[in-house]
């Protein structure tokens, strides 16, 4: 899905509503609208860091942490059995036939061996997230953090999914009109209309995003259900 810049919302407010709003205000209103609509443009990131003084600092745009893995204390799995974070992993075996032996007695001919290749295993480690810091029990260890972050442009403003532009614009219009209404400069009927527009456009933005998330196969299945009078059911007798 294409992402738009904050400048697009700024220009729409100016061209369609004659509202000249500072870009930082538009960015703040757009971020709130995206949060309310559940449509924040996200990206996946992975970073390596060395824990110092029992903590590391994450970028401010981090929204969700997927995993934190310790890279400094690998466990060698070439042993017969190993234990990682209190989970016991017994060795598994395979039978390898001896092609030179015509005796197929399973007690003498086959060979028993572990069926895994010795490798280095890295374990998940506990942490506490006190934004923007991750805190650990250990220090001076190397870790890898996988996280989801808000997608920002070069100026540090949040990017806007193209399906959310109308919702962000009408939320900004609503926030612009709200203090004027409270000061009695806008009639209640006018403000009610602005509120209705805002709700409608934000709902439409959500619906557009949901439809963009469907691929052609899913849409085809939905159409088959909606238009078929002889719906086929799996493992159910007619």
pTM of the model: 0.57
pLDDT confidence of residue 75: 42
pLDDT reading at 14 higher than 90: yes
pLDDT confidence of residue 220: 73
pLDDT: is 74 or 191 the higher one?
A: 191
- What's the rounded Cα separation, in Å, for the pair 132 and 53? 15
- What's the rounded Cα separation, in Å, for the pair 76 and 2? 45
Q: Mean pLDDT in the chain?
A: 77
pLDDT in tens, 69-128: 988 754 443 434 444 444 444 554 444 445 544 454 544 444 444 444 444 445 788 899
Is 71 in contact with 122 (CB distance < 8 Å)?
yes
Is 49 in contact with 143 (CB distance < 8 Å)?
yes
Gap between the terminal Cα atoms of the chain: 42
pLDDT reading at 55 higher than 90: yes
Ordered by start, the domain boundaries in the chain are 1-41+153-211, 75-121
pLDDT confidence of residue 160: 87
């Amino acid at each position: 899905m294409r992402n738009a810049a904050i400048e697009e919302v700024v220009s729409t407010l100016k061209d369609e509503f004659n509202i000249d709003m500072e870009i930082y205000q538009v960015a703040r209103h757009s971020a709130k609208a995206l949060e309310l609509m559940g449509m924040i443009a996200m990206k996946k990131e992975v970073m390596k860091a060395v824990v110092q003084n029992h903590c590391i600092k994450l970028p401010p745009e981090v929204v969700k942490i997927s995993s934190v893995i310790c890279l400094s204390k690998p466990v060698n799995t070439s042993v017969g059995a190993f234990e990682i974070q209190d989970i016991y992993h017994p060795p598994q075996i395979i039978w390898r036939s001896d092609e030179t032996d015509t005796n197929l007695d399973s007690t003498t001919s086959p060979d028993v061996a572990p069926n895994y290749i010795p490798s280095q295993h890295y374990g998940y480690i506990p942490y506490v997230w006190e934004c923007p810091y991750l805190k650990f029990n250990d220090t001076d260890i190397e870790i890898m953090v996988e996280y989801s972050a808000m997608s920002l442009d070069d100026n540090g403003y949040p990017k806007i999914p193209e399906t959310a532009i109308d919702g962000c614009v009408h939320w900004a219009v609503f926030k612009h009109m709200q203090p004027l209404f409270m000061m009695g400069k806008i009639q209640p009927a006018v403000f009610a209309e602005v509120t209705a527009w805002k709700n409608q456009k934000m709902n439409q933005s959500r619906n557009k995003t949901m439809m963009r998330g469907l691929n052609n196969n899913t849409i085809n299945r939905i159409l088959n259900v909606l238009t078929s009078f002889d719906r086929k059911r799996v493992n159910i007798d007619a």
